[in-house]
Amino acid sequence: MRKTLVIYLVCEPETPALAAAAVEAGADVIELGFPFSDPLADGPVIQRASERALGRGMRTARCLECLEATRALLGETPIVPMTYAALLEAYGWERFAADAEARGATSLIVSDVPAGLRPELRRIHLVAPTSTDERLRLAAGTTDGWLYLV
C-alpha cells in the first residue's frame, strides 16, 4: 500500500503559493477548503481559517479563481475542493461541479452529503469507524479515488 500525504488549505489569496510549497516539500494531494459560514464538520482551527477567509472576501467565485491559480502552479498534482452542500445548493450542484473541473479540480469532497446522495457528482466519500458494512460498501463502490476516514 502506498502512503499519500494530503494537505488541507483554506482558499485565500496566498493559497496557490502555499500549495506549491507543500507539493515541493512532498505533499501528494492538495485539498482546497472552500470557506463556509457554518462549518460544522470542521474543528476550531479550520473554523477560524474559514472565518478569516470569508472576512477577506473569499466567496465561491474567488475560491474557484484560487483553484485555477493553484492548478497553474501544481501541474498534475491532484487538487480536491472540499466544501458543504449549502454552498453547492446556492451555487448550483452541476454548475459547481463543472466550474471546479474546468478550473482544475481532480474530484470533490462534500463533507455533509453521504454516499448514495447526488450520485451524479464525481466525489470522494467520507466514512466513519461507526459506518455500517452496507454504508462502507456503498461508499467504496462509488467513491472517486479513496475513502476519507473521519
Q: How many CA atoms lie within 13 A of 59 on its CB side?
A: 4
**Structural domain contains residue 132:** no
Active site residue 133: no
The answer on pLDDT for 49 being more than 80 is yes
Q: pLDDT-based confidence at 146, cuts 50/70/90?
A: confident
User: Which pLDDT tens digit goes with each residue over 55-79?
Assistant: 999 999 999 999 999 999 999 999 9
Q: Among residues 12, 14, 28, 31, which one is catalytic?
A: 31
Its pTM stands at 0.91
Give yes or no for residue 40 having a pLDDT over 80: no
In a domain, 73, yes or no: yes
Q: Does residue 141 lie in a domain region?
A: no
Q: Which of 14, 24, 38, 42 is catalytic?
A: 42
- Measured between alpha carbons, how far is 70 from 150 in angstroms, rounded to an integer? 26
Question: Is there a catalytic annotation at residue 31?
Answer: yes
For position 17, which CATH number holds?
A: 3.20.20.70
Q: Within a domain: residue 134? A: no
In whole angstroms, give the CA distance from residue 109 to residue 112: 9
